[in-house]
A and B are shown apart, each in its own frame.
Chain A
């Protein structure tokens, strides 16, 4: 099973600041990596797929990068609506998909 780790567990950021979230895979997943945003009481929403392609619902301040085992989600200038939990997800290794444990982005 591919193990996904995310860091940090919690990121405290002021509105307008940049946020950088990391996701690491225990073995290569190529670029088969997605990011999801989840707000309290809501279902997850697809944010990034293919490691770097942004879903249509999200603005350009969100960007993804990386391949292989190291991935980054960057939010260039945090807005109030961006405070949420972010999960990475590898879909390289069926029959075992795995999600990372999540990074909570909170208001500083």
Chain B
């Protein structure tokens, strides 16, 4: 059974940093692209970033480019999102999601339950 377990969310001040993690279970991690999608309170879904199965291709939404870094650790079957320069509009529930294939240009077929990031002073 595919499972994605996010962690690392919390309260952080504007300008601060946070590192999210997503532990993956139930599939061969390095064969699938992975991504992060966020949802601000009461709002819709916003794609944040995706990475290919190998980790060699990464993509970012314009709203986070230059501030967030996506990476994956194949030894630990874990996806990360390093978030720097956090702003109030980064406040959201961050979902980890599996791509349907090796390449990141695909739909998301499994989602975690999310980890909440709150940016506030």
A-side interface residues toward B, CB under 8 Å? 1, 32, 34, 36, 38, 42-46, 49, 55, 87, 89, 91-92, 94-102
Contacts and interface: CB of A to CB of B under 8 A. Distances in A.
B68 interface: no
A102 B44 contact: yes
B44 A98 contact: no
A44 B113 contact: no
B116 to A, nearest CB: 12
Given A49-B100, A94-B104, A94-B105, A44 B62 contact: no
Given A49-B100, A95-B59, A89 B111 contact: no
Interface in B63-121: 95, 100, 104-114
A49 B59 contact: no
A98 B59 CA distance: 13
B60 A46 contact: no
A13 B73 CA distance: 46
Contact of B95 (A44, A89, A95): A44
B45 interface: yes
B46 interface: yes
A98 B107 contact: no
B111 A44 contact: yes
- Nearest first, the 6 closest Cβ-Cβ pairs linking A and B are A95-B59, A34-B107, A97-B47, A43-B111, A99-B45, A49-B107
B63 to A, nearest CB: 10
